[in-house]
Amino acid sequence: MSSTVLDYTKEIPVIEGLPTAAALDETIVKPINDFPQRRWFIGLAITGTMLMIGVVSLSWLLWKGVGVWGINQPVAWGFDVVNFVFWVGIGHAGTLISAILFLLRQKWRTGIARFAEAMTLFAVLCAVQFVIFHTGRPWLAMAWLFPYPNQHGVWVNFTSPLEWDVFAVNTYFIVSAVFWYLGLIPDFATLRDRATTTIKKVTFSILSLGWRFSNRHWQHYERAYLIMAGFATPLVLSVHTIVSFDFAVSIIPGWHTTIFPPYFVAGAIFSGFAMVQNVLIITRKAFKFEHLITMDTIEKMNKIILVTGTIVGYAYIMEFFIAWYSGNATELFVFVNRAFGPYWWAYWTMMTCNLFTPQLFWSKRIRTSLLASFILAIFVNIGMWFERFVIIVTSLHRDFLPSSWGMFVPTMWDFGMLIGSFGLFFTLVLLFVKFLPAIAMAEIKAVIPGAQPTHHGNGASH
């Protein structure tokens, strides 16, 4: 911010400076047309290595079976489900930014919506691999997961929350992909008209479907975008709600609690925004998008992280309080065991990173510091990963009968797959920022100063 005193009579501009639409195109298209910088290759080498660690772990898993993981009885869900929930959670920010913030008319979303959506797709891909491989025989999973007529006369179980998950995650992936593509169509058309080589021209012509920027099309397009946002908003909520049902419909103490749906959704938004924040700060720096993704945007992201972090904190406290209030001994045991049992370190890591450190965002100085935002966002990601670990492992490792108590110790293959999923995610992010426009050109042009007519008083416009 250039001026320290806020003037509430004026809207905060979405982008800084007064770039022309053509200059915007130039900035956004630059990374696509230029030969990538050396640091891009260094980044790709690092993420590629991580991805390879994942591939090796995966091959070993396929050869030996899920016994290579640390899972056991009673802790039958380990890193696989922890990572699944973690990545699905990350995947919530993109659609949230593009759908909910669109409906709330938060214009600052324009700069970040495109790559947040891309991150959604990549995160869901990362998540899906864990659930597929945790079925044990993934090559048969198709038959177990999808309802299709078969010679056994057997159908999937529609009353199972795991089956709901199949529907929710697939729907979410498809809808997010369509949403993303829909937003890309005008940009593909712009790229088509700016293409320098024939390959690019042909590719972008096909991808743009022949978009002509006709207002007769824009009219439907805008409505479709609104409708999609209207559907995507409850869809985002439903996906993590259904993930929470995986746990909450059971009768396991620590899993069965009615606040799970909104609590999971808030947690998902929390971690997703933190991940977007991390990628955003790096992209912004690397591609010199400082005037498009302003400090104000980053500050607003931090505010949302603070709000959702506090909601998650509210859920932690409410769960603990009701566990005591219910007068149910098992319930109370589970919660006390979480905080002071053998996995106390996981619990307190979670509390520190999710509830305590985000409170630093109350200070405007920290909110507007790039370094602090970046570090705190990493903290949030760590904390949210541990939250899923706490929910899953600590609830399972103390079964109803003390004779069935156990401990979960992850193996190197568990960590291998976790590292691999980060490798996959960041590799895809790197490829995305190189080959596709990382900022929605058509959208950002619509919000620069002077982009819209000043039509007060000419009533015929509606």
Partner 1 sequence: MSAHESVIIPKKELPANIVKLGWALTVIGLVLVVLSYVTDAQRAGFNNIIGFTFLASVAVGAVFFIALEYIAGAVWSTPFRRVLEFLGMLLIPVVLLAIPIFMNFHDLYHWTHADVVANDKVLQSKSPYLNEQFFTIRFVIYIVIWSLFYFIFRHNSLKQDQDSDQKRTKKNIALAAAFIPLLAISISLFSIDWLMSLEPHWFSTMFGVYYFTGSILTALAVTTYFVVVLSEKGYFFKGINENHYYSFGALLFGLLSFWAYIAFSQFMLIWYANLPEENFWFIARWQNGWEYVSVAIVLLHFWIPYFMLVSRPSKMKPRTLKQSAAILIAAHFLDMYWLVMPTYSASPVLSYYELAFPVLSIGVIIVLFAMQAKKYNLVPVGDPKLQRGIDFTL
Partner 2 sequence: MEKKLYSITAIYSYPNDIIRAAKTVRDAGYKKFDVHTPYPIHGLDGAMGLKETKLGFVTLAAAIVGAAGMISFASWVAVVDYPQVIGGKPYWSWPAFVPVTYEIAVLLAVLGTVGAMIAFFFKFPNISHPLHDTPYMKKVSADKFGVSIQADDEQFDEKKVRELLKSAGGEVEAVYYSEEFLTFKPQTFDPKFIVLLAGIALATSAGGYLYFNKVLYLPPFDWMMMQPKVNPQTMSEFYADGFGMRLPVAGTVARGFIPYPYALGAKADSVGKFLVNPLLPTKTTLDLGKKKYFTYCSPCHGNFGNGDSRMNGQFPNPPTLHSDKVRTWPDGAIFHTITVGQNVMPSYQYQISREERWAIVNYIRTLQRAYNAKESDLQ
Q: Does 37 bind partner 1 (CB under 8 A)?
A: no
Considering CB under 8 A, how many residues would be counted as binding partner 1? 39
Q: Does 158 bind partner 1 (CB under 8 A)?
A: no
Nearer Cβ to partner 1 (310/337) = 310
Nearer Cβ to partner 1 (86/335) = 335
Torsion of CA 208, 212, 218, 223, to 10 degrees: -30
Residue 259's binding partner among partner 2, partner 1, none (Cβ under 5 to 8 angstroms by kind) is partner 1
| Residues of this chain, 326-385, that bind partner 1 according to CB under 8 A | 326-328, 362
| Residues of this chain, 42-61, that bind partner 1 according to CB under 8 A | none
At CA 99, angle to CA 96 and CA 105, rounded to 5? 110
Nearest approach, Cβ of residue 7 and partner 1 (Å):
7
Distance in angstroms (rounded) separating the CA atoms of residues 276 and 302? 11
Query: Residues 201, 192: contact at Cβ < 8 Å?
Result: yes
Residue 76's binding partner among partner 2, partner 1, none (Cβ under 5 to 8 angstroms by kind) is none
Q: Does 248 bind partner 1 (CB under 8 A)?
A: yes
For residue 449, give every residue at least 6 positions away whose Cβ sits within 8 Å of its Cβ, in sequence order, or none: 13, 18
Nearest approach, Cβ of residue 390 and partner 2 (Å):
25
Query: Residues 248, 165: contact at Cβ < 8 Å?
Result: no
Query: Residues 259, 319: contact at Cβ < 8 Å?
Result: yes
Nearest approach, Cβ of residue 253 and partner 2 (Å):
18
Query: What is the SS3 assignment for 28?
Result: helix
Residue 17's binding partner among partner 1, partner 2, none (Cβ under 5 to 8 angstroms by kind) is none
| Residues of this chain, 208-237, that bind partner 1 according to CB under 8 A | 226, 233-234, 237
For residue 343, give every residue at least 6 positions away whose Cβ sits within 8 Å of its Cβ, in sequence order, or none: 389, 390, 393, 394, 397
Nearer Cβ to partner 2 (241/381) = 241
Nearest approach, Cβ of residue 245 and partner 2 (Å):
7
35 token code pair: 């030969």
Residue 237's binding partner among partner 2, partner 1, none (Cβ under 5 to 8 angstroms by kind) is partner 1
At CA 422, angle to CA 421 and CA 425, rounded to 5? 85
Nearer Cβ to partner 2 (160/404) = 160
Helix axes 215-248, 260-286, angle to 10 degrees: 130
- DSSP state, residue 11: P
Distances (CA, A) of 51 to 43, 48, 137, 138, 395: 12, 5, 22, 20, 31
Nearer Cβ to partner 2 (45/193) = 193
157 class by beta-carbon count within 10 Å (0-12 exposed, 13-18 middle, 19+ buried): exposed
Residue 152's binding partner among partner 1, partner 2, none (Cβ under 5 to 8 angstroms by kind) is none
Question: Given its phi and psi angles, is residue 213 left (phi above 0), alpha (psi -120 to 50 degrees) or beta?
Answer: left
Residue 345's binding partner among partner 1, partner 2, none (Cβ under 5 to 8 angstroms by kind) is none
Site string for partner 1, 393-412 (x = CB under 8 A): --------------------
- DSSP state, residue 97: I
User: Tell me, what amino acid is at 93?
Assistant: A
Nearest approach, Cβ of residue 392 and partner 2 (Å):
21
Nearer Cβ to partner 1 (267/423) = 267
Q: Does 317 bind partner 1 (CB under 8 A)?
A: yes
Distance in angstroms (rounded) separating the CA atoms of residues 359 and 289? 28
Question: For binding to partner 1 (CB under 8 A), which residues are involved?
Answer: 6-9, 11, 103, 105, 226, 233-234, 237, 241, 245, 248-251, 256-262, 310-311, 314-315, 317-319, 322, 325-328, 362, 456, 462
